[in-house]
């Protein structure tokens, strides 16, 4: 399954296009260089929650609008702590795999599981 961050990037790009804007125009409104926003949307730089809020405001959306509908639905059923734990676990597993520290999910378990 595609990583959540990649799905969010694609949704941001689609919303920018749907509104007849360019990444350059959005970057200007954010007060950053277009190349910096482009790097974030290509996956060469990390997208932070502050970025989501800022882009959403520019596009007239909420930051959660960038999340796939299943994730948004799951978020509604979880407490904030449960959601953060799930996201952090996913990011930790991804980091460990990308850096060849582990090779499978089986090797990565949270202590309380």
- The reply to whether CATH 1.10.260.40 applies to domain 4-66 is yes
Least Cα distance to 55 among 75, 70, 71, 41 occurs for: 41
* Domain boundaries defined on the chain: 4-66, 78-107
Three-class SS state of 22: coil
One pLDDT digit (tens) per residue for the chain, 113 residues:
357 788 899 999 999 999 999 999 999 999 999 999 999 999 899 888 889 889 999 999 988 888 877 665 566 676 777 767 776 666 666 666 666 676 555 555 544 44
The model scores a pTM over 0.85 = no
């Amino acid at each position: 399954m595609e990583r959540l961050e990649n799905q969010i990037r694609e949704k941001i790009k689609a919303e920018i296009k749907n509104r007849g804007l360019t990444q350059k125009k959005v970057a200007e409104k954010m007060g950053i260089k277009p190349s910096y926003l482009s790097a974030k949307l290509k996956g060469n730089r990390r997208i932070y929650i502050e970025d989501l809020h800022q882009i959403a405001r520019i596009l007239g959306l909420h930051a959660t609008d960038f999340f796939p509908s299943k994730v948004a639905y799951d978020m509604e059923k979880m407490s904030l702590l449960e959601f953060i734990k799930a996201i952090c676990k996913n990011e930790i597993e991804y980091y460990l795999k990308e850096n060849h520290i582990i090779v499978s999910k089986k090797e990565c378990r949270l202590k309380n599981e």
